[in-house]
């Protein structure tokens, strides 16, 4: 998501603003059980390892998960009650041997 360069956003309370630099990301979507979610992390790492990409661990190379909060906020549900976990895993990648 890109915000206009001149848009001001302020943090309040426990909110911390983080600027994520533009990167290439490998993205995997989890829509299943907790076990399927954990397997997805492994499959994403296997895919990266077998592709022409490598994980971008340079400064500003982030990995993160995005969880939709609508129609249901999963953080309002106890973990042992959630039947299906829905979120996207973003892993910063770059072409191998690129400096």
Question: pLDDT digit string (tens) for 60-75?
Answer: 778 888 887 777 777 7
pLDDT in tens, 14-54: 777 777 788 999 999 988 887 888 899 999 999 999 999 99
Residue 75: which residues within 8 A CB-CB, separation 6 or more? 67, 69
pLDDT score at 2:
54
Closest by CA to 31, choosing from 91, 88, 78, is 88
């Amino acid at each position: 998501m890109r915000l206009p360069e001149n848009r001001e956003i302020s943090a309040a309370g426990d909110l911390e603003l983080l600027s994520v630099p533009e990167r290439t990301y490998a993205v995997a979507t989890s829509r299943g059980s907790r076990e399927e979610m954990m397997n997805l992390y492994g499959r994403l790492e296997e895919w990266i390892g077998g592709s022409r990409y490598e994980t971008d661990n340079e400064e500003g190379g982030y990995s993160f998960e995005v969880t939709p909060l609508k129609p249901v906020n999963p953080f309002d549900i106890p973990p042992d009650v959630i039947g299906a976990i829905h979120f996207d895993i973003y892993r910063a990648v770059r072409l191998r041997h690129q400096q």
